[in-house]
Amino acid sequence: MKQPIQLTDAYVLCQDCGHAEPYSDAKHLGRESCPKCSGDFCGCNACSGIARLSVQFQAQAEAENREGEA
């Protein structure tokens, strides 16, 4: 299986809009805010788990879209 989006073990989740991004210290420590709503990211275990599901779902949807176009 190809994985067009790189999946990592840790993610941060925007507390305001639910946008998920790969974990970074800057985001976890609040030095970098959500590009969509300027909200704060959280990188705790619970949020990381939710964010990972969200990213995997997006990756799957994108892969399916690509196959549909080809």
Which residues make up the interface to Zn ion (CB under 5 A)?
14, 16-17, 19, 34, 36-37, 39, 42, 44, 47
Closest approach, Cβ 48 to Zn ion, in A, equals 8
Q: How far apart are CA 50 and CA 44, in angstroms?
A: 10
Asked whether the beta carbons of 41 and 27 are under 8 A apart, the reply is yes
Distance CA 28, CA 20 (A): 12
Whichever of 39 and 59 has its CB closer to Zn ion, that residue is: 39
Q: Which is nearer to Zn ion, 46 or 70 (CB)?
A: 46
Helix (H) or strand (E) holding 58: helix 45-69
Q: Which is nearer to Zn ion, 3 or 8 (CB)?
A: 8
Min dist CB 6 to Zn ion, Å, is: 21
